[in-house]
Each structure stands twice: as structure tokens, then as C-alpha cells.
């Protein structure tokens, strides 16, 4: 079978292990070119990953006749622009998450890809990871009876000055570039819940910036209801004295506890019995989702993470942060 030839726009930290190798390790898939505005860094990535060529201009990727599909691994603020450019060039796009800075941009990306008849996928790779598939199967098989309520909890220590100045955190905490630490991280959880339980139809929430360590929100509480009648609530504090994170799905006959961000054992509780199900993550966590995209392009199956599924998550994030963003804009602080 003819391999799908990929071009990558952006080859920073996320592309080093999580995603990049998946494009040349997936079956019937090749990574033929990478791009980064800093040409020396693009060349270094290409050398270390045995990629045939590198560029410092995105058009060299988007318009290349020997590239079948484009992976967009840049900061969130540029996802919208690059996706529209790929669509106009007739290139399928796989864009990192968060899909864009808000749901309006996401809808425009979907519209552009539909208009040019090219597919659009989004990097919510947990939809293809074995441990999330296991949680979804447990719920679907009735292991905990009828699902009643979902609880999400995440506590994180406030970043130090040194950490805030680091490249890994600086863009995430900037609402103009990454949308904010909560925005960049919690979307993974909401997309996973969409995948496991179903679409969320209504949200009520409060958000604030209590510690004032960076411009974006650091304290969020939310209540939400799913279309199928399940209810949920969550609390996120990014200025706590400890790190803790879990999701719990409670049903009529038991509960399931699992982590979004760490491959800790799934904890299945039924009555007085507790079972721990240990399922690790693959070394390149994007690879199973990449494989589903490659298979879809070859006419075999469908990738579970599309522009439409990611738009639902974007709408949830917008609803949670709407009031906080409006107040910030009224104070002249941007988004």
C-alpha cells in the first residue's frame, strides 16, 4: 500500500516524543518534511529523526506536491490560520489541541475544510489510547450500572518564577498564545468525557485568577449536564500546595476512577470489591490516533477525533470561561 506522506508544521517539544515519531512509525506512513520558523532547529529535528528535508517556510510544506497530509503542531493561536491555508491548498490537516482559541475559529476551520472537501482531524489522542478505550468499554458494558454523575478534580502547585519564564509554560499561561493553562490542559479531560459518556449540552461555571501569577485563570469550578442525562462537576486549582488529578464516574452499581494525564491503574469499585486495571501508554501517545488517520486515508475505518468532536469540546471550554473572559476584556486585558 502506498504510504501517506506527511509534512509537519512546527517541530517543538510535543513533536519530539509524543507525536513526531508516530508519523514514521505508523504502518503505511512517512514523515517526509518538517518546518519551523527557526531553520536551524528545524534542521536539527530533521537530522535527529532522519527526515529527508526541512524548511523555515510553512508554504513549502502546504504546497509541496509530495506531501499528502499536514500535521499542525504550532502554538494554539496559529492553528486557525494554518488549517485554512491547508484547506485552500487541498491538503488534509491534523491539528494539535486545543483546536483553536475559541469555538468560532473551530467552526471556521471545519467550514473551510468542508468547502475544499478535505478531512480535518484534531490531536485529542486519548480517543485512541488503550486505557481510555478500556474505560469506555467498562461504561458501555454496564460494569458500574447506569452512569449517574462524573467528578473531575485537578490541583497543581503554582508555577515558580523560573517555571513561568520557561518555554514550556510561558506560552500555555498566555491567553493570547495558548489560551491559558486550564484551557490548554482541561480540554483533554472534557474531550475524553465526550468520548466515554457523550456530548455535554449545558455548562454553568465560575473562573477567577486568584494567585495572579500569570494572566489566565487559575481557579475554576464547573457543573455540566450531558445530553444523555448524566450530570458532572469539576474543580481545578492551579495555585494549590499539592498536585492531584483524577476523574470519577459513578454509576448505580459502582464507580470508575482514572487519570487524564498519568497512566495510573484504572480503579473499578463495586460494592466492597476494588479492582485495579493497569494499562500503560505507548511510547508515542499520538501514534494510535495517527494510525487511525492513515487507515482512514486508505479507506479503512474512521479516526475518532474530528473537527466536529473537537468543536463540542471547544464550546464547553468557551462556556466555562465566557464570564471570566468578558470581565478580562472589559478591564482591557485582552481575551
Average pLDDT, the chain: 96
- pLDDT score recorded for residue 310: 98
- Pseudo-torsion of CA 33, 36, 41, 44, nearest 10°? 0
pTM score:
0.96
Domains, the chain, with CATH or none: 4-126+286-303 (3.40.50.720), 129-282+314-330 (3.30.360.10)
- pLDDT score recorded for residue 83: 98
- pLDDT score recorded for residue 164: 80
Q: Residue 98, preceding bond cis, omega within 30 degrees?
A: yes
Q: Which long-range contacts (CB under 8 A, 24 or more apart) does 279-285 make?
A: 279/130, 279/131, 279/134, 280/131, 281/129, 281/130, 281/131, 282/129, 282/130, 283/17, 283/21, 284/17, 284/18, 284/19, 284/20, 284/21, 284/22, 284/25, 285/18, 285/19, 285/125, 285/129
Would strands 255-258 and 244-251 be described as parallel, antiparallel, or unpaired? antiparallel
- Pseudo-torsion of CA 179, 185, 164, 34, nearest 10°? -80
Mean pLDDT of 183-210: 97
Of 99, 145, 136, which Cα lies nearest the Cα of 314? Answer: 99
The pLDDT tens digits of the residues spanning 127-148 come to 999 999 999 999 999 999 999 9
- pLDDT score recorded for residue 168: 75
Residues 6+ apart with CB under 8 A from 287: 21, 22, 25, 26
Where b means 16+ CB within 10 Å and e means fewer, 80-100 reads bebbbbbbebebbbbbbbbbb
Give the separation between CA 14 and CA 233, rounded to whole angstroms. 29
- pLDDT score recorded for residue 330: 66
Grid cell at residue 120: 480535518
Task: Tell me, rounded to whole angstroms, the distance of Cα 148 from its chain centroid.
Answer: 26
Give the separation between CA 294 and CA 52, rounded to whole angstroms. 20
Confidence label for 64 from pLDDT (cuts 50, 70 and 90):
very high
- pLDDT score recorded for residue 334: 58
Give the separation between CA 245 and CA 262, rounded to whole angstroms. 9
The pLDDT tens digits of the residues spanning 93-122 come to 999 999 999 999 999 999 999 999 999 999
Does 335 have pLDDT greater than 60?
A: no
Give the separation between CA 17 and CA 155, rounded to whole angstroms. 26
Grid cell at residue 308: 466536529
Residues 6+ apart with CB under 8 A from 26: 287, 290, 291, 294
Amino acid at each position: 500500500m502506498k504510504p501517506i506522506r506527511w509534512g509537519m508544521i512546527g517541530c517543538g517539544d510535543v513533536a519530539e516524543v509524543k507525536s513526531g515519531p508516530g508519523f514514521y512509525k505508523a504502518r503505511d506512513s512517512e514523515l517526509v518534511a518538517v518546518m519551523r520558523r527557526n531553520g536551524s532547529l528545524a534542521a536539527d529535528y530533521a537530522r535527529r529523526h532522519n527526515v529527508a528535508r526541512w524548511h523555515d517556510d510553512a508554504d513549502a510544506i502546504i504546497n509541496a506536491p509530495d506531501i499528502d497530509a499536514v500535521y499542525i503542531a504550532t502554538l494554539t493561536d496559529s492553528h486557525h490560520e494554518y488549517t485554512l491555508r491547508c484547506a485552500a491548498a487541498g491538503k488534509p490537516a491534523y491539528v494539535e489541541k486545543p483546536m483553536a482559541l475559541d469555538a468560532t475559529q473551530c467552526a471556521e476551520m471545519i467550514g473551510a475544510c468542508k468547502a475544499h472537501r478535505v478531512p480535518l482531524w484534531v490531536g485529542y489522542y486519548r480517543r485512541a489510547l488503550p486505557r481510555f478505550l478500556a474505560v469506555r468499554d467498562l461504561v458501555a458494558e454496564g460494569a458500574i450500572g447506569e452512569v449517574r454523575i462524573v467528578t473531575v478534580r485537578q490541583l497543581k502547585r503554582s508555577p515558580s518564577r523560573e517555571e513561568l519564564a520557561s518555554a514550556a509554560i510561558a506560552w500555555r499561561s498566555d491567553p493570547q498564545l495558548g489560551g491559558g493553562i486550564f484551557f490548554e490542559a482541561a480540554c483533554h479531560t472534557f474531550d475524553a468525557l465526550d468520548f466515554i459518556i457523550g456530548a455535554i449540552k449545558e455548562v454553568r461555571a465560575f473562573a477567577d485568577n486568584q494567585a495572579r501569577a500569570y494572566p489566565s485563570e487559575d481557579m475554576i469550578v464547573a457543573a455540566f449536564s450531558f445530553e444523555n442525562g448524566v450530570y458532572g462537576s469539576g474543580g481545578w486549582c492551579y495555585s494549590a500546595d499539592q498536585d492531584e488529578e483524577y476523574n470519577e464516574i459513578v454509576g448505580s452499581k459502582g464507580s470508575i476512577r482514572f487519570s487524564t494525564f498519568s497512566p495510573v491503574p484504572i480503579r473499578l469499585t463495586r460494592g466492597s470489591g476494588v479492582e485495579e486495571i493497569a494499562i500503560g501508554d505507548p511510547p508515542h501517545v499520538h501514534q494510535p490516533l495517527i494510525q487511525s488517520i492513515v487507515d482512514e486515508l486508505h479507506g479503512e475505518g474512521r479516526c475518532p477525533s474530528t473537527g466536529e468532536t473537537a468543536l463540542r469540546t471547544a464550546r464547553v471550554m468557551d462556556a466555562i470561561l465566557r464570564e471570566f473572559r468578558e470581565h478580562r476584556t472589559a478591564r482591557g486585558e485582552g481575551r
